[in-house]
Amino acid sequence: MHDETPESLVGEEHEVEVGPVAHGGHCIARTAEGRVLFVRHTLPGERVVAKVTEGDSGSRYLRADAVEILEPAKDRVEAPCPFSGPGRCGGCDWQHVSPGGQRRLKGAVLTEQLARLAGLTPEDVGWDGTVEPAPGDKVAKGEVPAWRTRVQYAVDEQGRAGLRKHRSHDVMPVDRCLIAAPGVTELGVERRDWPQIATVEAIAATGSNDRQVLLTPEPGGRLPLVELDQPVSVLRADDTGGVHRVHGRPFVRERAIDRTWRVGAGGFWQVHHKAPGLLVEAVMQGLMPRKGEMALDLYCGVGLFAGALAERVGETGAVLGIETAKRAVEDARHNLQDLDRVRIEQGKVEQVLPRTGITEADLVVLDPPRAGAGRQTVRRVASLGPRRIAYVACDPAALARDLKYFTEEGYRVRRLRAFDLFPMTHHMECVAILEPVKKER
């Protein structure tokens, strides 16, 4: 006996009733034969024709696009972006959904991830179930908030800038990205040719006029002379992850919480212009720092939360930031050089934290990468006995997993807030505030 080669099902069409939204920008449906479909470009409750885009007869599930809408949901709108839709630009997930509908979908995903991965209900975590829009993101029907201050364009064989299709290396040339911030659009990246370039990342700082493009050449490619519609600094990435200045500053200056922040190439900064202020406010309201406290800012980036903590713990307090990226650590030290109560250490959190010799802390902020902090780091943080922990998460699955670990270590979620800082996409940002469970006497 030998196994038959699985047969590709790509291109098959199925008329389906669409079920609940799932994490990842799609909804779940089943074919008449009971096969699970992950369908994009649809909404729960719709009846659609779904065309398979990925999968074969041996796959556990198939991916599909809704190519015909037979019964639309009430939250469906005409996609404002001409480049959105099946087989087109993969930058957005929910162009076809009203803004309120998008936030409801995100709320449903967060609720489902908390239940499935942490066994927690919205009531358990002090969350009212809403995903809050950023101030100023409410736009007229059919319009899109231009929130994205950093856009990475891919370049096709003809040298045209565009965005990749969903789960593909194919490039969809665009003449304008609707979610790009005005400062990015003004550069005119899409109106230029980019011969021998693989990607162009355009950055428009908030609170300064700094504009930057980071070019990654094709292997063996030469850098073109860059002439854009606005003054801009130019950096070049090499194939080892290094970044070299071509002309202008090697960083942009961002403004948040009444400070200027230097952010070097590849340094992490929130993409939505309102996000830094909004997240700092949510974290500080939750932690309520007091003078003289000892605080940790883990995965501290260029020092945003460390700076906010330092202001509040005062001269008698202390703040330790830990960050992996060398450039970000240099930036953080530069940004917070006027605050002698702040120390920034470079390295992986799970390696540096045990080495510091710190045995207790009053407050901890964690803002880990998409994969989350993980059990080992959660255990280490809990062992320091902080009275409050603020966990900032860009991925609801990683958040739910880590909250489960915190629960096992004797912490409970006092409050959770979710923010729609990535309109038109399935992403969101959450802030969970944790405290130790009171022990019964």
Is the Cβ–Cβ distance between 300 and 308 less than 8 Å?
no
Side chain identity at residue 191, one-letter code: R
348-351-353-355 Cα dihedral, nearest 10 degrees: -130
Find the catalytic residue in 89, 92, 394, 430.
394
Instruction: Give catalytic status of residue 394 as yes or no.
Output: yes
Residue type, 14: H
Q: Are 37 and 64 in contact (CB under 8 A)?
A: yes
H/E stretch holding 80:
none
Calpha distance 172→179 (Å, rounded): 16
Handedness of CA 164, 38, 23, 96 (dihedral sign): positive
The helix/strand/coil state of 185 is helix
Tell me the H-state helices in 75-177: 99-113
Asked if residues 272 and 421 have their Cβ atoms less than 8 Å apart, the reply is: yes
The type of residue at 422 is F
Q: Is the dihedral of CA 186, 191, 194, 197 positive or negative?
A: positive
By annotation, the residues acting in catalysis are 394
